[in-house]
Amino acid sequence: MSRQHATPETRSVRLLKVGEQVRHVISELLMRQIVHDDVLTAHTISVTEVRMSPDLRHATVFVKPLLGADEDIVLKALRTHTAFFQKEVAGKLKTKYAAKIKFLPDESFDEASRIDALLNDPRVVRDIGRDEGLSED
C-alpha cells in the first residue's frame, strides 16, 4: 500500500487538531488543580488557543486569567511548571515527540476591547449612521 502524501491543507488540519488536544489537556490540568501551586489554584485561567509548530515539537499556549487579574504572576507560575505540563501532555497525547510548551498572554481580548471602543467613538457612530441612512434609499 502506498503512503499518501500530506498536503498543506491536511497538515494544517492536523496542527489544529493536535493544538486543540493540547489545549484540552492543559485546561483539564488547570481545572482539576493537579498542579500544586498556590497562584494557579487561586486563579481561574482560560487556555484560549494553542498553536503548534509544523513539526509538532513546539506548542505556544495562549492563556488569560479571569478578568485579566494578576496576569504576570499567573504567567510566571505557569512557566515555572512548564516541565510538568510538557510531561503530562506527552503522556496523554502519545505523540512521537513531547512538544516544548511556551506560555504567552492572550492579547485578543484587549485588542477586541480596543476595537469596540473605537467603534463606539461618537465620530465613528456618526459616520456609520450617515452611511446606513444612505444605503436605505
Range in 36-40, 125-129, 133-137 the model is least confident about: 133-137
| Average pLDDT over all residues of the chain | 82
In percent, the amount of the chain with pLDDT more than 70 equals 82
Please check whether residue 63 is in contact with residue 105, taking contact to mean a CB–CB distance below 8 angstroms.
Answer: yes
- CB contact set of 57 (below 8 Å; sequence gap of 6+): 97, 99, 100
| pLDDT-derived band at 1, boundaries 50, 70, 90 | very low
Element spanning 120, H or E: none
Q: Rounded to 10 degrees, what is the CA torsion of 34, 36, 41, 43?
A: -100
Q: How far is the C-alpha of 54 from the C-alpha of 117, rounded, in Å? A: 36
The closest alpha carbon to 112, from 50, 68, 51, 60, belongs to 68
Cβ neighbours around 19 below 10 Å, total:
20
pLDDT for 113 beyond 90: no
**Sequential DSSP letters for 67-89:** GGTTHHHHHHHHHHTHHHHHHHH
Residues 54-72 pLDDT 10s: 989 999 999 999 877 788 9
**All three cell numbers of 51:** 498553536
Minimum mean pLDDT among 24-28, 34-38, 100-104, 123-127: which range? 123-127
Domains within the chain, CATH numbers bracketed:
8-129 (3.30.300.20)
Task: Identify residue 81 by its one-letter amino acid code.
Answer: H
Q: What is the pLDDT of residue 7?
A: 55
Assess whether pLDDT exceeds 90 at residue 20: yes
Q: What integer is the mean pLDDT of 40-56?
A: 90
pLDDT band at 132 (very low <50, low <70, confident <90, very high): low
> pLDDT tens across 69-110, in order?
788 999 999 999 999 999 999 999 887 788 999 999 988 766
C-alpha cell at 67: 478578568
